[in-house]
């Protein structure tokens, strides 16, 4: 199996920059795995990018090979318009130095948002200043104009906190203008999840679908069925699936999600790699 990008590199960058002065609505591009780019009023928020082959190289000679099954969408050094970037937790496909360092170099005024519990780990991996990342916990938010970002729990596989009670795995709600989107990070369905998310009335929920299979020897996520069901229960206006079609051993057929979304009456959109959706 090999998944080609709908658009990539310079074509993708041109698509992003063509609409940078648009004042109506907002736009979203899927950059693969859990990476999504939000464009609103000429500003750009990048959720959890993984745009390298660092994990494939790292695990190439192990019993857990990370064999890539899709194209890299964009060289991170081409992303010179990023205002805010997130890392929801410390796993490399959400905190990748080979992705983030070129982005930092091209965007010297960027703000990075992380779980506060992960500050020391993030600083060590990225060799950045201790006060560079902005840390959040649940029930906290930060405003980075025009975005207001809220921290919410994620269970990967459990809700884990440090010794002072700060979350190590998080999701993020981003509010901008009249819009709200929810990026799950990596998470299972946990008690109270619907009650936390439903009041936000999100326009888009970005939800993983690759499931939780212990034989993969990695922490799991929502299944395609759970993603369709929780999208319906939180009354998201749209669900966009993620965390599939990157590694051969840890993927899912998005058509299975589509079938469940139809069954539950969950509004959805499956994006191709590098594809844009516009919300007005």
Task: Measure Cα distances from 108 to 9, 61, 132, 166 in Å.
Answer: 21, 36, 11, 28
The string of pLDDT tens digits covering residues 190-232 is: 999 999 999 999 999 999 999 999 999 999 999 999 999 999 9
The pLDDT confidence band at residue 237, using thresholds 50, 70 and 90, is very high
- Is-contact 187 222, C-beta < 8 A? yes
**Token match 């008690």: residue?**
191
User: In angstroms, rounded to a whole number, what is the distance separating the alpha carbons of residues 139 and 258?
Assistant: 32
Model's pTM, two decimal places?
Answer: 0.98
Domains located in the chain, CATH noted: 9-279 (3.60.15.10)
pLDDT of residue 186: 98
In the structure encoding, which two tokens stand for residue 120, read together?
């020391």
User: What confidence tens digit (pLDDT) does each residue in 54-111 have?
Assistant: 999 999 999 899 999 999 999 999 999 999 999 999 999 999 999 999 999 999 999 9
Residue bearing tokens 């906290």: 140
Please give the biggest Cα pair distance in the chain.
50
């Amino acid at each position: 199996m090999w998944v080609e990008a709908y658009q990539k590199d310079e074509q993708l960058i041109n698509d992003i920059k063509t609409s940078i002065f648009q004042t109506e609505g907002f736009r979203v591009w899927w950059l693969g795995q859990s990476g999504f780019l939000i464009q609103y009023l000429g500003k750009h928020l990048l959720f959890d990018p993984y745009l390298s082959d660092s994990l494939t190289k790292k695990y190439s000679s192990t019993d857990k090979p990370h064999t890539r099954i899709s194209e890299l969408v964009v060289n991170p050094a081409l992303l010179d318009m990023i205002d805010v970037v997130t890392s929801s937790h410390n796993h490399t496909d959400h905190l990748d130095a080979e992705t983030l360092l070129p982005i930092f170099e091209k965007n010297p005024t960027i703000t990075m948002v992380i779980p506060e519990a992960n500050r020391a780990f993030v600083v060590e991996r990225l060799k950045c200043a201790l006060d560079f990342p902005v840390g959040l916990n649940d029930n906290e938010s930060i405003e980075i104009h025009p975005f207001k970002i809220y921290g919410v729990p994620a269970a990967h596989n459990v809700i884990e906190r440090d010794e002072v009670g700060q979350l190590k795995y998080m999701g993020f709600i981003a509010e901008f203008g009249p819009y709200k989107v929810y990026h799950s990070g990596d998470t299972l369905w946990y008690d109270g999840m619907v009650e936390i998310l439903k009041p936000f009335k999100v326009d888009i929920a970005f939800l993983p679908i690759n499931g939780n299979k212990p034989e993969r020897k990695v922490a799991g996520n929502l299944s395609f069925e759970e993603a369709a069901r929780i999208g319906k229960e939180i009354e998201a206006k749209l669900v966009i699936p993620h965390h599939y079609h990157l590694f051969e051993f840890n993927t899912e057929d998005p058509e299975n999600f589509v079938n469940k979304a139809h069954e539950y009456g969950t509004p959805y959109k499956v994006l191709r790699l590098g594809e844009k959706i516009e919300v007005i």
